Amino acid sequence: MSSRIEQLLAELTPEEKVSLLSGEDFWSVPAVERLGIGKLRVTDGPNGARGGGSLIGGVKSASFPVGIALGATWNVGLVTEIGAALADEVKSKGAHVLLAPTVNIHRSVTNGRNFECYAEDPILSAELAVGYIKGLQGQGVSATIKHFVGNESEIERTTISSEIGERALREIYLIPFEWAVKKAGTWGVMSSYNRLNGTFTSEHNWLLSTVLRQEWGYDGIVMSDWFGSHSTAATVNAGLDLEMPGPARDRGQKLVAAVNAGEVSVAMLDQRVLAMLRLMERVGSLDDHRTFQEHANDRPEHRALIRRAGSEAAVLLKNDGILPLAGSGKIAVIGPNAKTAQIMGGGSAQLNAHYRISPWEGLATALGEDRLSFAPGCTNHRFEPVLRGTFKVEYFANQTLAGEPAHIGSMDDAQAFWVGHVADGKVDPLHFSARISGVFTPEETGEHRVGIYAAGFGRVFIDGKLIADAWTGWTKGRTFFEEGCDEVVGTINLEAGRAHQVAIEFSTKEFATLGLAAFAVGIGLPLGDAAIAQAVDAARDAETAVLFIGRNGEWDTEGSDLPGILLPGRQNELVEAVAAANPRTVVVLQTGGPIEMPWADKVAAVLEAWYPGQEAGNAIADVLTGAAEPGGRLPQTFPVRWADNPAHSQDREVYPDLEGKVRYEEGIFVGYRYYDRVGMTPLYPFGYGLGYTSFELNDLVIDDSGFESDGKLIVSLAATNTGDRPGSTVVQLYVSDDKSTEPRPVKELKAFEKLHLEPGEQRSVSFLLDARCFAWYREAAHHWLVEAGGFTIRVGQSSADLPLTGSVTRSTTLMLAV
């Protein structure tokens, strides 16, 4: 602790101390001008830095690949580069803290936020988190690793109790956070919304004080997720430093009163304040008195990095020799994601990207548009397409659209996300109404679908007729972070070329947890059999058909889990029809996690491209044409069907929830650990991915000279590129306990290294394993235990391809402190 912050603490009044422990507004902690303490500003991440704007619109930002895409790179160095680049983005938005990375585990295949997280495996997640944090904080910007802990589902996430045994917590869910503290020195941690075993994590003393601070030695801050604090004394005493957002709800004068009443000691208050001052000193906000400004810095080096990372994230799941594309024949570009750039997931991670490159644009640039033909085939949207255009907005300082407007403004597109500051401050952001008016001119005549969903009451009129009503009988659904209703859809016949008058009425309502107001209105014309027939004709007339299918940020989103892992809409039907017409069919998937692929054996190639950021189309085209290697390996097992996933259960308390609880019954057997345990072969295993060259691993050597004394081991081997072009692979090392007194996984990932080798190049790889690599957590004794007996070392290029094996043995047990 520096003498400066000690001096500041001594000079702060009780009220000033308390002011530093809650937000001033949605994105900042107040300054203390009397002592020259500047304002601390935060911004959402993790795949960019949105700044202080709404989730919709705002100052433009660079859009990087999402978390699962970075997980698929298995490249710690690359993720460190991205962390450093994100520091530039944070600074361009006038902020000091990035709310990232997200390291919750892929427990299920249907979690709406899997796209934002790295992996199903704690070691892969932890290694990448360490790189991300070091890159970010190396540039003076604080990370805020999240969500601590047990937020593996978006269903009732603000109230649910995640019932997780301590062994599963220690061996799976806490490891990325532990490494972030011990190996990366993270300056920030964000508590999750949920309860952990009955207690909100924001007031969980065992979690925030015993584990995080006492056992791990953490000296940074813990902030609440937005509106995730539920008490005053309990949160402060448990270890929650900062309540967000502001203005204060549970702190402020309530905390002053709690200190005066002896519910919170002065010493405890000072601990919380010192943590905040320490963070402010680390990120330089103590002395940051600049006028707040946000800039849209579209940097060429960020463009190049995003494109490179997008290619390295792409996982080639199948290739019958059709890729990379060669020759000069006609290519049919088909599918709902072909001309739409799906660059990110939904929720707090979304931002206003500088630009979006679609796969069509990427292929047109790489191959020439004259070689391409296009057919959409079908749709894959969850909601009707947002109504685009410029709209007049009349704001009323009441909830009944009564009287004269308090403010008149405009909006681009028929959607809004209002938080904190609305209509230039002329209405209460939680108690207002609005009338939005504009026109819609259809391109085709026919029966159109009109949809609206809202965190508030909303309805849509076209040419004066009520078409979609989300006002009367409003019911809570799975939109806008569970504050909104599900989409309400009506139909109307519209005439091509005619400017139809559109009026949208909106009013706020009481919120459950998150204080926000929002709506989205869309109008769409359904595609039918004719669209699939058109796609089949295009495929039949081309040498190669490339199908761009999957999901989008409406499906893969914060605040809503997936209903399953079948492709939405008629996409499976489209693949079957196109593959029947042209056996040279390549499927390019964009999803935030696994899908079922009933057509996998009928297509020539499958590429999983995830949501790779603003350079999506260029990165995908680079891989398809061979300008770049498909460098990704799966960070999550792809099961044959949803029912194969360990979280899938007839018991609703296991998933999705029952009476306020979700029970992690599978314990430590998450992902590949489960499939190994039950002997089930997945569609594609964890760690799997093909490239455009081949690799051999050999010469495994194990140095166990220190294994008996301290549990350490050195494993070395040689990796060779045996193909005729440069390429990459991931060398993966797994450990098996041959005989344990408690159930353990068949194998567990303990180390890995991404290699890029030229043709014929050979490189030595070494791994240093410590005692924790062989230990399991014994709950009753509260320690890690390495048991006497044999262990098997397995090395290969996926969890299902481990040709190199070796054995080591201990004659004594070894107990390790937490």
List the catalytic residues: 225
Sheet holding 748-757, edge to edge: 748-757, 727-737, 789-796, 804-810
Structure tokens at 794: 């397995």
Whether 549 contacts 604, CB under 8 Å: no
CB 549 within 8 A of CB 609: no
- In which residue are the tokens 């060398």 written? 731
Q: State how beta strands 199-200 and 500-507 pair.
A: unpaired
From residue 337, alpha-carbon distances to 65, 292, 445, 524, 638 in Å are 17, 38, 24, 16, 21
Side chain identity, residue 315: V
Q: Residues near 305 by Cβ (< 8 Å), separated by ≥ 6?
A: 64, 81, 82, 85
Polymer length of the chain: 818
Distance of CA 448 to the CA centre of its chain: 33
- φ and ψ of 591, to 5 deg: -145, 170
Check residue 414 and report its DSSP letter: S
d(C-alpha 458, C-alpha 171), whole Å = 46
CA 671 vs. chain centroid, Å, equals 18
SS3 content of the chain, % helix, strand, coil (to 5): 25, 30, 45
Q: 3-state DSSP call for residue 672?
A: helix
Rounded CA separation 701/806 (Å): 8
Angle of CA points 559, 589, 697, to nearest 5°: 110
Alpha carbon distances (Å) from 628 to 49, 310, 338, 625, 635: 27, 10, 20, 8, 20
Rg, Å, the chain Cα set: 27
How many whole angstroms separate alpha carbon 256 and alpha carbon 277?
19
What is the spatial distance between Cα 432 and Cα 407, in angstroms, rounded to a whole number?
11
Q: What is the spatial distance between Cα 756 and Cα 73, in angstroms, rounded to a whole number?
A: 12
Using N-to-C axis directions, what is the helix angle for 266-283 and 253-260, rounded to 10°? Answer: 140
Q: How many CA atoms lie within 13 A of 258 on its CB side?
A: 19
- 731 with 801: CB under 8 angstroms? no
Tell me the two tokens of residue 402. Answer: 């009564």
For residue 61, give the DSSP letter: B
Structure tokens at 272: 């919380």
Half-sphere exposure of 576 (CA within 13 A, CB side): 8
Is-contact 235 208, C-beta < 8 A? no
CB 351 within 8 A of CB 48: yes
DSSP state of 169: I
Query: In angstroms, rounded to a whole number, what is the distance separating the alpha carbons of residues 2 and 21?
Result: 20
Burial bucket for residue 105 (CB in 10 Å: 0-12, 13-18, 19+): buried
Encoded tokens for 702: 């194990």
Q: Which of 353, 420, 357 is nearest to 89 (CA)?
A: 353
Torsion of CA 212, 216, 218, 223, to 10 degrees: -20
Q: What is the DSSP string of 188-224?
A: EEEE-SSEETTEEGGG-HIIIIIIIIIIT---SEEEP
